[in-house]
Amino acid sequence: MAREAILDAAWAVAREQGIAAVTLREVATRVGMRPPSLYSHFDSKHAIYDAMFGQAWQDFDDSVAAVELPDDPRAALHTLTRHYVTFSLEDLARHQLMDQRVIPDFTPTPENYAPAVRALERVRRALEQITGGLDDDDMDLIVVVTGGLVGAQWQNDPGGTRYVRQLDRIVDLLADELDLPTTRPSEETRRP
C-alpha cells in the first residue's frame, strides 16, 4: 500500500511540476513521511523512476491488449498508431519517462523494462498477424515515425493538433512503404 501511495505521489509531482522535478522530499511530504522513510520502500529516487517506468509501460501494454483490430492491414496500422499517439499525448510526464531520456543517468532495470518489450512485441505480433510479417527495420520505422510525431506535437503544439492531424497521412505513407494493401480504413478508425 505504501509503495502505491509513493508512486501515486511521484506521478502527481511529475504531472504538476515535470518528471525531472520529482524529489524524495516532495514525494515524502505528499504521503506523510519523512524523506528517509522512503528508503524502506525504494532504494533511491531512480528506483522510484524505475517503478514509474514499469508501471507506465504496463499500463500501455494492458491498453494495447484491449484494442480490437480490424482485419484490414492499413486499418490495423491506423488503429495501433492512433492508440499509441493518443496514449502518449494524454500525459506528458508519462510520455517523457517512457519515451524520452529526460532523467540524467536513469536506465530502467530489466524487470521494469520488460513491460516495454512486451508492449512492443504485442504490437508487432498484432501487425504480423494482419500483414503477414514485419522485419525489425519495419518495426523501427513505425516506432521512429510515430514517436517523432508525438515528440513534435508535445514540443511545438502541446494541447493542439498541428502535428497529430497529420497522423493519417503519415500512416498511409508507412503503409505504402510496407506494401500494405491500399484499402483505406473506415472513417470511424481514422477519427482522432
pLDDT band at 190, cuts 50/70/90?
very low
Mean pLDDT calculated for residue range 6-10: 96
Between 192 and 113, the more confident residue is 113
Residue 155 exposed, middle or buried by CB count within 10 Å (0-12, 13-18, 19+): exposed
pTM here is: 0.88
Give the count of beta carbons closer than 10 Å to the beta carbon of residue 158: 9
What local confidence, expressed as pLDDT, does residue 164 receive? 95
Across 28-138, the runs of DSSP E, i.e. the strands, are none
pLDDT tens sequence across 159-178:
999 999 999 999 999 999 88
In the chain, the domains with their CATH numbers are 1-42 (1.10.10.60), 53-190 (1.10.357)
